[in-house]
A = this chain, B = another copy of it.
């Protein structure tokens, strides 16, 4: 009967994960039922289990796909030789780009990770912690090279991360604010400040 539509260039499993990301973002992980997801996919709930291991697997896939993408990007950034400011600039722009192309997944990874079960929860958290501390290292280097003000590195990193992670709020204003305007203004504000 009803057949699961595979997403372009992806398995049926990928299609389910994508729909799940949308629902998890919209309603939250716990508030999304498998029946609801099944309906979105166009199938009865038990049929989903021909493709996935269970509800928790869906969350794991979403969270780690996002985490890995960011980790990979940071690694490439570290390997590229350029100024710290330029690296921070690119890092902020990457976050914005990701928010544009994978809004649901990013939101879920940022807000629903607490429903992961161990050992995935621990893995996810330590991966995040590592990302954070590598950014701190970057800022410390910038301070040392006198590219950056003598600001507290942790605070600087947390401020940047908070600001970019909070970009979800921007989704509501997408049509009013083009992506490049957002990018340039945000980078400028975070790096150069607001005061004239």
Contact = CB atoms under 8 A, between A and B. Distances in A.
B189 A155 contact: yes
A152 B170 contact: no
- A interface bracket (residues with beta carbon within 8 Å of B): 35 or more
A28 B169 CA distance: 20
Contacts of A170: 158
- The majority secondary structure among interface residues of chain A is helix
Contacts of A163: 159, 162-163, 166
Given A28-B115, A114-B28, A189 B159 contact: yes
A116 interface: no
B161 A169 contact: yes
Nearest to A181: B152
Contacts of A191: 193-195
Contact of A151 (B115, B149, B165, B188): B188
B195 A151 contact: no
Contacts of A159: 163, 185-186, 189-190
Contacts of A2: none
B189 A31 contact: no
